[in-house]
């Protein structure tokens, strides 16, 4: 089936993407999923990862998302993300600083260390760095 699907990625602070796409691939909680125009409706939770989509002109776009929800309808995909950044907007130095802070926290012997929170910060930083550095190799 030919045609484009509307993609909207929003966070509590802003709209990150609002454009037509040929295909949308996203990191669902049970694995990556893809949506084309005419897809059967569904909702799912998202994992930390990368939303990949091909815009209406055929260019691949990448957006980092940190959890949230996705709703797929036959003509629209809406992603409500805890946080989201286009690959081009990722501040590599900020991500590296966040990684270093998380590693330092893990290296300390703190009784009240919230391990899950530090682990999540570490994962976010690593994924953002990987995504930001991938644009240099393309």
Q: How far apart are CA 93 and CA 80, in angstroms?
A: 26
Q: Where are the domains of the chain?
A: 5-87, 91-134
Look at residue 110 in the predicted model and tell me its pLDDT: 66
* Residue 97, helix vs strand vs coil: helix
Residue of 69 and 102 predicted with greater confidence:
69
Residue of 113 and 1 predicted with greater confidence:
113
Burial category of 7 from C-beta neighbours within 10 Å (exposed 0-12, middle 13-18, buried 19 and up): buried
Flag whether pLDDT at 136 surpasses 60. Answer: no
Q: How far apart are CA 127 and CA 138, in angstroms?
A: 17
Look at residue 135 in the predicted model and tell me its pLDDT: 62
Question: Which of these CATH numbers, 2.60.15.10, 3.20.10.10, 3.40.228.10, 3.75.10.10, describes 5-87?
Answer: 2.60.15.10
Task: Tell me the per-residue pLDDT of 6-56, one tens digit each, with 9 for 90 and over.
Answer: 999 999 999 999 999 999 999 999 999 999 999 999 999 999 999 999 999
The structure tokens listed for 87 are 């690959």
The structure tokens listed for 102 are 């998380």
Buried b (16+ CB within 10 A) or exposed e, 86-120: ebeebeeeebeebbeebeebeeeeeeeeeeeebee
Task: Tell me the per-residue pLDDT of 42-82, one tens digit each, with 9 for 90 and over.
Answer: 999 999 999 999 999 999 999 999 989 999 999 999 999 99
The structure tokens listed for 89 are 């907007």
Q: How far apart are CA 72 and CA 68, in angstroms?
A: 14
CATH of span 91-134:
1.20.5.440
Where would I find the beta strands (DSSP E) of 11-57? 15-28, 31-35, 42-46, 49-55
137 in Cβ contact with 114 (< 8 Å):
no
pTM: 0.80
Look at residue 138 in the predicted model and tell me its pLDDT: 40
Q: pLDDT band for position 101 (50/70/90)?
A: confident
């Amino acid at each position: 089936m030919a045609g484009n699907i509307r993609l909207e990625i929003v966070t509590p602070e802003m709209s990150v993407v609002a454009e037509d796409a040929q295909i949308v691939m996203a990191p669902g909680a049970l694995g990556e999923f893809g949506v084309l125009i005419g897809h059967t409706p569904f909702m799912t939770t998202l994992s930390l990862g990368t939303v990949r989509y091909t815009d209406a002109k055929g260019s691949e776009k990448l957006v980092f998302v940190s959890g949230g929800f996705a709703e797929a309808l036959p003509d629209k995909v809406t992603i409500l993300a805890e946080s989201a950044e286009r690959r081009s907007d990722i501040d590599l130095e900020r991500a590296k600083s966040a990684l270093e802070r998380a590693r330092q926290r893990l290296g300390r012997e703190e009784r009240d260390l919230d391990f899950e929170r530090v682990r999540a910060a570490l994962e976010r930083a690593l994924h953002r760095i990987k995504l930001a550095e991938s644009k240099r190799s393309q």
